[in-house]
Amino acid sequence: MADAGAVLPDALPAEAFFGRIAELRRLHREARSLLRGRGRSRAICARAGAGKTELLLQWHGRLFREGEILPLYVAVPETKDAALLADEIAAQIALQALAFARRDPSLLLRPLAPAAVAAGLRPAFGGAGALLVEELSACAAGAPAGSPAAPLLIPHRFALASGMRVAFMLDDAANLGERAGAAPLPARAVASTAAPLLLALEEESDVTHLLGSGAAALATAERLGPLAGEAVRQMARHLARVAGLELGDAAVAALEREAAGSPFYLTALVRALEESGGTGPADVARAAAASVCDGELGRYWFERLAGLLPERGVRATAVEILAYCLREGGDPPQISRLAALMLKDEPAVERALAGLGRAGVVRIDCARVVVDEDQVFRDAALALYRREFEQATPSAVAAACAAAKVRGAGAADRRRALERFRESLGALLLAWNGQRISRLLFDAPAYARRRAATATAAAAAAAGTEGFDGQEAEVLLPRVISVASGRVGAGGTPAGSEMDALAWGVRGEPAAGGEVDVAWIARRIPGGAGSAGQIAAFDRQVAALQAAGELPAAGVVRWAILDAPLDPEGEREAASLRLPTSLHEQLAELAAALGLPVPARPGPQGPQVVPEFELEMIIPRAADAELVAARALEQLAENLGVGSEETGRLKTALVEACINAFEHSGEREGRVRLWFAVAAGKLVIRVENRGRPLAALPAPAAAGEQPRRRGWGLTLIRQLIDEVRIEPREDGVSLVLVQDLGVRPHG
Amino acid sequence: MASFTFTTHVGGGRAIVRTRGYLSRVAGEQLEREIVRLLDAGERRFVVNLKETDLINSVGISILIGVIERVRGLGGELVFSELTAVNEEIFRIMGLHRHARLVRGDDEAGE
């Protein structure tokens, strides 16, 4: 899961969201008012396609990551039975609340059973959680009958019960009033200062219709205009660059003109692409195939393009696009993702697979089609990918194995290696997805035999067998439903016996009797001396999670990812537990050898963006040392054209971050590293210290608590800065501040 | 050159302390000592003019909170004047405005 950007599905990653700086800042100010108990309901009105939804999703993501206000986002569908709608709204509220409490956005991707959600709410919120469970049950039972507005009071009641502040976003809110006899929005929900409503509507007239004339005065309505020209230009260039397409200045200008009068910017982009150089459906298909490998951005862009093609009068079905991409030599792993994204309903799946089979492009042998309307269709991807996997040449595998050696032994090296591992493992998991392979690719004896037969003496001498495990058994790699990482504790709470584990693939909730695919859990283990104890500890922690119902009681595939090879006792322990082990370096190399896109490690600026300016400083732990950094920032801000008030906020936030870093530094003569970068219209400041990890830091004061005389630093920072992230590291903490710059007048 | 200095003017029934520079913990303690000295000398009405202080940290503000409490405990009043917009925003976030008036100019302090 990305660290930045929105957390709800279908939202843009941060690096692909352009513009709306002023709107986000207004929402940010509203959030500050809400924290002071002065929340106000409001409405955002704009034409379809102007970007209301994306704005709400981005704000939701920021609030989620900041952790002080519970953000709830509900998109109201057009046609739905009133009782079913009420149940669905209540379920979404409960799931988002649970994800927020656990600080786990991956929960938003999983189709958790209501019973599982309810089981998590009580320990997460205490009495307020019990209230949520009651509301959830009432809506599931269809009470009060026929009223979709009933669950809209849940956030308000929850806020009062918990003392938390809630930002409740209702997208396409006008759909609430489409049913005959539907009551306007509850006045108490509109008037709530602890859980105000943020309605997204197309017309201001919907405000009165929904709220009733008496309540209309309580809400303010803001008209959202089209994206500013510069934002449109940035978006167009960014998307074109991702897709590998040329977009000349004339096309950009045409796009900007069109977008100014008509939202649905991507429609305009496609039109501009076509007009710019005769780009036809073939180019669009190729762009779509290329963009899919770009992870979330690609998926977003492709889905929109695939939807636009019929509108453009282009006869391009899913099968034709896939066939085109394969004929043109597109990478099968990429195309497999393309297929998975496109084929979301069963009849289309069957048609598409049949078409591909007739075309002789791939051998279709998946036995079961699993379709989940909210999830990517993975079996088709598996079927397509298997062809590539079986054709992985021995030399490519050998090259990957030869290159996979542990490098470096320091904490920083291991940290970097772990970060690379997380990304490469995620890509591999999505590709392997249910594969059954005859052996793990790190079979030392077999590798040695191959090397002896084909390699030169020098290469053979350099290769050796260091760093390989000796697994030879047949291994079933699990079916991956979602990819997430995080800290999982027994009982589902971060406290208690924490486990630095990376867990994927749990579908349904075992305790609730839901369907469960293979559950899979991996843990990074240092290896080396004492490996047996590390392996045993991993095994005990999995058992604890199983006992707590976090993992299925049986069928869990455990995988130990090693920093260093196991000692002999560790090897025996792993073998006795039938625990597969691999060096994480090997996984990255393997991904590269098989042509899987291994995402670059995202730095503070994200993988796609190259900073326009960077400055790095190290300041000592000395009186007023932070002032030096503040003066440097002041000069930088002046160079960027930032106004004096904004500069003041930045300086104050930076000073607080430095003081925070000094206070938590574990070193007697602590130093703080600062990194400033300007990229994509944002100023990013990273403040790093070496010292206590995040778990040892005092928790921020909960909303509603009386402020203390001390401990204000982080609160001030969050009030002054658009986006604040705390990134724990092995040897300390990084505090990342991200401020949208936009165009600001000199103040 | 010191990052923080101040000047004091006593007259018209009040003491005006004008600060200059970064109001950090160290600066806050200096300011606190000055206010205490003035309290001991019998002053009870204070104006802290922050016009020339563009940067304050939360530790410095926390010391100011203590100063306010001490002044009020002796029946006095402390007013902050000519804050920058950002500093006024910070004071309000931290709730100082509930315990001490924030005014635009020293003259308003007497109102």
Q: Which residue has the higher pLDDT, A599 or B63?
A: B63
Distance of CA A321 to the CA centre of its chain: 28
Per CB-CB distance under 8 Å, the chain B contacts of A655 are: 55, 57
What is chain A's mean pLDDT, rounded?
61
At A606, is the pLDDT very low, low, confident or very high (cuts 50, 70, 90)?
Answer: very low
Give the full edge-to-edge strand order of the sheet including A165-171.
A69-75, A165-171, A197-201, A42-45, A220-223
pLDDT at A87 over 70: yes
pLDDT confidence bin for A320, thresholds 50/70/90 = very low
User: Is the sign of the CA dihedral A205, A207, A208, A209 positive or negative?
Assistant: positive
Average pLDDT over residues A300-308: 47
Number of residues in chain B: 111
A579-587 mean pLDDT: 55
Tell me if A659 and B59 make a contact (CB, 8 A cut-off): yes
- Bridge partners, B7 (sequence order): B18
**Per-residue pLDDT at A380 exceeds 50:** no
Would you call A712 and B94 a contact, using CB atoms and an 8 Å cutoff? yes
Q: What is the pLDDT of residue A655?
A: 93
pLDDT digit string, tens, across residues B25-34: 889 999 999 9
CB A333, CB A431: distance < 8 Å: yes
Alpha-carbon span A266 to A291, nearest angstrom: 14
What does the block give as tokens for A168?
Answer: 């409740």
pLDDT for the residue numbered A709: 53
Q: Three-state SS string across A358-386, please?
A: HCCCCCCCCCCCCCCCCCCCHHHHHHHHH
Q: Quick check: A544 contacting B, CB < 8 Å? A: no
Look at residue A718 and tell me whether its pLDDT is greater than 60: yes
pLDDT digits (tens, 9 = 90+) for A447-462: 344 334 443 333 433 4
The residue among B61, B93, B96, B98 with the most chain A CBs within 10 A of its CB, best to mutate, is B93
How far is it, in rounded angstroms, from Cα A304 to Cα A397? 37
Q: Which of the residue ranges A47-56, A699-708, A734-743 has the most confident prediction, judged by mean pLDDT?
A: A47-56
pLDDT of A31 over the 60 cut? yes
| The two three-digit tokens of residue A12, written as one number | 């843009």
For chain A, say whether B90 makes contact (Cβ under 8 Å).
Answer: yes
Q: Which residue of A has its CA nearest to B96?
A: A709
Of A624, A649, A656, the CB nearest to B58: A656
Name the minimum distance, in Å, from the CA of A709 to any CA of chain B: 6
Q: Is the pLDDT of residue A17 over 90?
A: no
d(CA A287, CA A340): 17
pLDDT: which is higher, A80 or A145 = A80
Residue A525, SS3 per DSSP:
strand
Distances (CA, A) of B50 to A521, B12, B87, B88: 57, 20, 9, 10
pLDDT in tens, A534-576: 888 888 777 776 776 556 676 666 767 666 777 888 878 887 8
Q: Work out the average pLDDT over A691-703.
A: 41
Per-residue pLDDT reduced to its tens digit, A624-658:
788 889 988 988 888 888 888 889 999 999 999 99
| CB neighbours of residue A307 within 10 Å | 11
Whole-structure pTM value: 0.44
Average pLDDT (A208-223) is 70
Judging contacts by C-beta atoms under 8 Å, the chain A residues touching residue B96 are none
pLDDT at residue A590, rounded to an integer: 39
> Is the pLDDT at A167 greater than 90, yes or no?
yes
pLDDT-based confidence at residue A387 (cuts at 50, 70, 90): very low
| Mean pLDDT, range A255-272, rounded to an integer | 58
Nearest to A716 among B24, B55, B58 (CB): B58
Q: Report whether A194 contacts A165 (CB < 8 A).
A: yes
Interface test with B, best of A33, A654, A709 (most B CBs within 10 A): A709
DSSP state, residue A511 = G
Between CA A76 and CA B41 the distance in angstroms is 68
Q: What percent of chain A has pLDDT over 90?
A: 5
pLDDT for A502 beyond 70: no
- Which parts of chain B have pLDDT scores under 70? 1-2, 109-111
Mean pLDDT value of segment A77-86: 69
DSSP letters spanning A542-602:
HHHHHHTTSS-SS-EEEEEEESSPBPHHHHHHHHHTT--EEEHHHHHHHHHHTT---PPPP
**Does the pLDDT of residue A506 top 60, yes or no?**
no
Instruction: Note whether A2 and A602 are within 8 A (CB).
Output: yes
Query: Which of helix, strand or coil describes residue A351?
Result: helix
Which of the four pLDDT bands, split at 50, 70 and 90, describes residue A521?
low
Among residues A679, A667, A675, A631, the alpha carbon closest in space to that of A651 is found at A631
Contact B57 A623 (CB under 8 A): no
- The secondary structure of residue A28, as a DSSP letter, is H
pLDDT higher than threshold 50 for residue A466:
no
Going by the DSSP 8-state scheme, the letter that residue A182 receives in this structure is P
Q: Higher confidence at residue A736 or residue A308? A: A736
DSSP for B58-108? HHHHHHHHHHHHHHHHTT-EEEEES--HHHHHHHHHTTGGGTSEEESSGGG
Tokens coding B93:
């976030």
Confirm or reject contact between A659 and chain B (CB < 8 A): yes
- The confidence score (pLDDT) of residue A651 equals 94
Name the pLDDT band for A481 (thresholds 50, 70, 90): very low
**Contact list, A652 vs chain B (CB under 8 Å):** 55-57, 86, 90
Asked if the model's pLDDT at residue A708 lies above 50, the reply is no
CB neighbours (10 Å) of residue A529? 13
What pLDDT, on the 0 to 100 scale, is given for residue A598? Answer: 39
Span of A39-43, A143-147, A444-448 with lowest mean pLDDT:
A444-448
For residue A716, give the nearest of B3, B66, B93 by CB distance: B93
